[in-house]
Amino acid sequence: MQDHVLLLTKTAQERMASFLLDLAKRPPSAEEIKVPMSRQDIADYLGLTIETMSRTLTHFEKQVAIALPTSRRIVLCNRRASTRLNA
């Protein structure tokens, strides 16, 4: 609960990066993340609008930090970049 409250004090990019890195830590830990929630559910969880969340994912994709093969799969192309965004 405390981690989630702290998450809400971060920027949209930091929130999304934290979320993706947390998902990547769950078994099976890999570069490809299977997202268990809809984009609207993720936006709600992170306290963002779906538009802001989508813009943030697009920004990450343009920076080649992630790839978005489908709406339920995210590939971490550059974990170091994602970690920096989370700082």
Which domains does the chain show, CATH number per domain? 2-86 (1.10.10.10)
Give the rounded percent of residues in the chain with a pLDDT score beyond 90: 44
pLDDT value for 8: 67
Do residues 30 and 24 make contact, with C-beta atoms less than 8 angstroms apart? yes
Closest CA to 14 of 69, 71, 59: 59
- List the single range of 24-38, 39-53, 64-78 with lowest mean pLDDT: 24-38
Q: Over 90: is that where the pLDDT of 18 sits?
A: no
Bond before 28 cis per omega within 30 degrees? yes
pLDDT value for 62: 92
pTM: 0.78
pLDDT: is 43 or 1 the higher one? 43
Q: Over 70: is that where the pLDDT of 86 sits?
A: no
Question: Which of 61-80 are b and which e, b meaning 16 or more Cβ less than 10 Å from the residue's Cβ?
Answer: eeeebbeeeeeeebebeeee
